[in-house]
A and B are shown apart, each in its own frame.
Chain A
Amino acid sequence: MPSTPVLLDNAQTQARSEVLKDKILPAMLAGILGLSLLYAAGFAEAAQVHNAAHDGRHSASFPCH
């Protein structure tokens, strides 16, 4: 019965690609977006950004100065 394993295989591949589309890719994209924001607000060195976010950085206990 060669057709059964093939069918299972197809189902598995489809399930895997659905996990990728529904979970992994949206999560990765959200993660990258979140990290960029955290970098800008918490770590960017430009003096103006530092001074604007100064109190927020101290409060969050990010290494500052």
Chain B
Amino acid sequence: MFNLTTFRELVIAALWTGLLAGLLLTAVQQIQVIPTLLQAEVYEENAAAAVVANAEISHEHHEWQPENGWERTIFTAVANISLGVGFALLIGAVMCLRGRPGHWRTGLLWGLAGYLTFFVAPSLGLPPEVPGTEAAKLADRQSWWLITVLDTGFGLSLLAFALTKTNKFFGAVLLAAPHLIGAPQPEVPGSAAPAELAQSFITATVFANAVFWLAIGGLMGQFYKKES
């Protein structure tokens, strides 16, 4: 039917890569991402409490959420590992099509491409947000995010691999297109948290995701290397 060995090698490489990169990301997040997020949550809760007090509605309806502390960190680690394995499988799929890397350093380039596609490009229009920030409708933002990711991925591969100048130019146009159209914005922008906190969160995620993606690329390059 199809080459099961190739598939198995790819999946095993992706599982190890996702596990290690996810754990690394969880550690890096503790430096600035999580502390900033928790601080912003206090502002969000205060703002929400004020609203509830004013309107005198108190029908508390809370869905389950992990307790702050270890429980929350463990669930975040699981989410990070799942994202890591998911991204590693995508990178592995592309490596399988384009030719398996000969060295982990080649993997770093794939990681960089993933970082640009899945983090940098969508973040230019929809910057990483702390909880309590006003935003446009979720469905609109998700659509823009998805279109931008697909478009950037396709644009980057044209820019890198197309043989003619016209196609490379077309790749560059694709990279710019979602930003010329613009991301959906809220009708009234605003945030419960102060602007410095929002800025600190952006800086923190730019760094954390760079580490995450370079780890995914480098590890996938190592674990999914061509056999010599």
Which residues of A are in contact with B by a Cβ distance under 8 Å?
20-31, 33-38, 40-43, 47-48, 51-65
The tally of residues in B whose CB lies under 8 Å from a CB in A reads 55
Q: A47 is contacted by which of B7, B63, B75, B94 (Cβ under 8 Å)?
A: B63
- Contact check, A60 vs B82: say whether CB atoms are below 8 A apart: no
B47 → chain A closest CB, angstroms: 14
For the complex, is B228 an interface residue (Cβ under 8 Å from A)? no
Q: How far is the CB of A18 from chain B (nearest CB, A)?
A: 9
Contact check, A30 vs B93: say whether CB atoms are below 8 A apart: yes
B residues in contact with A21, CB < 8 Å: 1-3
Main secondary structure of the interface of A (DSSP, over half): helix
Q: Give per-residue flags for B71-96: 1 if the beta carbon is below 8 A from chain A beta carbons, else 0.
A: 01001101110110111111011101
Q: Which 8 A-B pairs have the closest CB atoms?
A: A34-B89, A56-B79, A37-B86, A53-B79, A51-B65, A41-B82, A63-B141, A38-B86
Q: What is the CA–CA distance of A26 and B128 in the complex, to the nearest angstrom?
A: 33
- What residues of chain A lie closer than 8 Å to B29, measured between beta carbons? 55, 59
**Are B2 and A26 touching (Cβ within 8 A)?**
yes
With A28-B93, A41-B83 already in contact, the answer to whether A22 and B76 are too (CB < 8 A) is no
B166 at the interface (CB under 8 A from A): no
Q: A25-B3, A38-B87, A55-B37 are contacts. A33–B11 as well, Cβ < 8 Å?
A: yes
